[in-house]
Amino acid sequence: MKPFPKIHDLYVGRTVLATVTLTWAVLAGLDVMLGLVSEFGDIGKGKYGLAEAFVFMALSIPRRAYYLFPYAAVIGSLMALGQLAATSELTALRALGLSRRRLGLAVAGALALLTTLMVINGESIAPWTQQRADAIKSNAKSGNTVMTQYTGLWAREGETILNASGGQERQRGDDRWLELHGVTLFEFAPDGRMRSMAHARIAEHRPGGWLLRDVTRTHFEERSVRQEKIPEERWQSQLDPVALSAGTERPRYMSAMSLRAGIEYRKRNDLDSSELEQHYWGRWFYPLNVLALCLAAVPFAFGALRSGGMGKRLFIGIVFALGFWQLQTQSVGLANIYHWDYRLAYFVPAVVMGGVSWFLFRRRSG
């Protein structure tokens, strides 16, 4: 069979893009409205008012759009095909030689464009705007002029354990740094014996390491204890704000780059990194998940071409496709319990759905 004219692929793709975008906007709008209602409970705390709540919700839109896109993609795709079927346009396209496989490729091509934009958004815009939103809310509620709050922080770097009573990210012009307060550093020997303990009033993360101010260091020797006071001291450490953020921020709001840095930090210090790995590989499999989700549901739209009942088939297709997320959630949960590779946990459900989609396309081809 000769290749179908490109203009028809573009027409189907344009219809899918328009319907998915509209569905996406409706879902995002509903989610933002529900989120704004939940923010009313915090209005009045400190300086957090209605204006701050609106700004917070506006900045959270890129993050919400990222997580809502897969649902909008599958629902919008089926709605677009249903619209074409209702106007007999799919029947005409099929009569001209458009196969279901070619139709599926046209849908996948349109979704690939939106998925690429969402991946870029999820790695750049969404994490940044969500951090700004959280900072605005935290500052308004607390009345402080800080960007990010750290309280009761514990971290480990090699044989040194850090504890800080609080801290924040500060900015002066183009200069931006992390500042921790009430810092205590516990340094241990390889055999587990404590070698020294240092208390610093302030610890600032600067290029090349940490700058400790007003340090009182206690050395524990074999037969004596020695104490010294140091105005400033350099601490050469690979511990940085990104690694600290991995322990204080919600992993689902972090970029893949930040998650990777957090994983490396935890593994370097023999700490559990499973939560970060779960979200890290979820970022990588996001495009594959969207494609598998939509292609598994698309064959349900074809039955309406002859037998009608698009509403029923649309409902079945949505339920069938959304079941993919439940399957993947269970797979990831089992991987977390039995310590399987998260790549396998994300890949297997996508392959299963891809196989089912291929079977349905073959069964209904013709």
What is the CATH classification number for the domain harbouring 198?
2.60.450.10
**Within this chain, do residues 284 and 182 fall inside the same structural domain, yes or no?**
no
Report if residue 220 sits inside a domain: yes
Distance CA 168, CA 204 (A): 10
The answer to whether residues 352 and 298 belong to one domain is: yes
Mean pLDDT, rounded, of the chain: 80
Write out the residue range of the structural domain in which residue 71 sits: 6-141+277-363
Q: Report residue 125's pLDDT band, with 50, 70 and 90 as the boundaries.
A: very high
Answer yes or no: are the C-beta atoms of 262 and 244 closer than 8 Å: no
In a domain, 249, yes or no: no
pTM greater than 0.95 (yes/no): no
Domain termination residue (choose one: 182, 205, 237) = 237
Average pLDDT over residues 68-76: 87
- Has residue 305 got a pLDDT over 50? no
In a shared domain, residues 115 and 187: no
Q: Is residue 244 part of a domain?
A: no
For residues 331-344, average pLDDT: 89
The pLDDT, as a whole number, for residue 325 is 78
**Which tokens sit at 72?**
């909008």
| Residue 176: count of CB within 10 angstroms of its CB | 12
User: Is 26 in the same domain as 173?
Assistant: no
CA distances 251 to 42, 115, 263, 279, 295, Å, are: 23, 21, 11, 7, 29
Same domain, 134 and 283: yes
Q: What is the pLDDT of residue 281?
A: 92
Residue 126 lies in a domain: yes
Cα–Cα distances in Å, from 210 out to 228, 261, 264? 19, 18, 19
Q: Averaged over 324-348, what is the pLDDT? A: 87
In a domain, 121, yes or no: yes
Q: Which of 183, 215, 237 is the last residue of a domain?
A: 237
Q: How far is CA 147 from CA 122, 172, 176, in A?
A: 21, 12, 10
User: Which residue, 68, 52, 61, is CA-closest to 130?
Assistant: 61
Are residues 47 and 137 located together in one domain of the fold? yes
The predicted pLDDT at position 148 comes to: 46
Are 20 and 47 in a shared domain?
yes
164 & 204 share domain: yes
Query: What percentage of the chain has pLDDT greater than the value 70?
Result: 84
Position 327 in a domain: yes
One domain, residues 120 and 179: no
Number of domains in the chain: 2
Residue 63: predicted pLDDT: 92
